[in-house]
Amino acid sequence: MKNILITGGAGFIGSHLVRHMVHKYPDYQIINLDLLTYAGNLENLKDIENLPNYTFVKADICDEAAIESVFTRFDINGVIHLAAESHVDRSITDPMSFVRTNVIGTVNLLNTAKKHWAGRDDVRFYHVSTDEVYGSLHDGGFFVETTPYDPQSPYSASKASSDHFVRAYGNTYKFPFVMSNCSNNYGPYQFPEKLLPLFIANIVKEKPLPVYGQGINVRDWLWVEDHAKAIDLIFHQGKEGETYNIGGNNEWRNIDLIHLLCKVMDKKLGRETGSAAKLITYVTDRAGHDMRYAIDASKLTNELGWEPSLQFEEGLEKTVDWYLANAEWIARVQSGAYQNYYLQQYGERY
């Protein structure tokens, strides 16, 4: 029996990973720990909430007593750490909340795991990070695992710091870890502040589509279910102390992606071609906006055999279909109504 603690498991990427692990490993006990802040939503996991190998715990990763209790209660022998504040715009207006969760929370998890795992060789700590820690690519090329860190936003600086702490624990205490840095994720259940779900909702309501600057910033897009499979693979087969980059091989300029989304939405909604594109509105660029991110995932492919399953056009169609079919989910998330529902269902445990 493996007792795997997944932090941030009610979030976008976390919920996909939790579902994947619960279904694939019925002999594992999957403990989903989430504070259920604005982006954490148990409704994302409604389909598995009653399965015998799944347990939800509401807790803050910064709460030392709460994390200690979880390790003791469940005899945790594996951690997959996704819990994080992750929205760049929010980090610009409130950097301290990112320092607290992403840095202090990570160190608290490391300390608790180190204490409970002393002398054990059947344990592993997996830290999930972002390609934003590498900064911005200006002269072509791709991020590789040895690319020097150059974070440019409070969010990426907080994630870079947590990455360094994980590696430092590995070096100082011989702490057993693996790490990954991923590109932009997309797919179902993403909180509507992010680009794709926000723009899908705005197109439906015929509201403006705010594009930063000239829209020429480039991002690599990774289907979230492919990411979950990569995490599973790295957790089980990744080499101790190694970092693996996870990318979708799908580079898009923001404005090109938005124009493609507009065409797909016009078709899905039965509107005249070009209707959605008229909603595009250029706004002042975000402070410190990195120009280009692009992942070289060849190490993960060559060593562990992982490859992305979807190209962006196919994944975008699936994403649009899901959000159009789940308009009520979007409305509940935006209103916070789902929190009231789960408060009634779970009481103090929520």
Q: Of residues 85, 131, 225, 226, which has the active-site annotation?
A: 131
Q: Is 307 a catalytic residue?
A: no
Q: Is 131 a catalytic residue?
A: yes
Task: Compute φ and ψ for 26, nearest 5 degrees.
Answer: -65, -20
Bridge partners, residue 2, by sequence: 28
Q: How far apart are the C-alpha atoms of 134 and 136, rounded to whole Å?
A: 7
What is each CA distance from 114 to 76, 118, 122, 172, 174, in whole angstroms?
11, 6, 13, 11, 10
Q: Do 292 and 138 meet the contact criterion of CB atoms below 8 Å apart?
A: yes
Q: Is 132 a catalytic residue?
A: yes
Q: Of residues 54, 126, 134, 155, which has the active-site annotation?
A: 155
Q: Is the dihedral of CA 93, 129, 13, 65 positive or negative?
A: negative
Pairing of strands 184-186, 78-81: unpaired
Query: Which of 203, 331, 327, 192 shows the shortest CA–CA distance to 265?
Result: 203
Q: Of residues 34, 43, 132, 251, which has the active-site annotation?
A: 132
The pair of three-digit structure tokens given for residue 96, joined into one six-digit string: 């301290």
What is the set of active-site residues? 131-132, 155
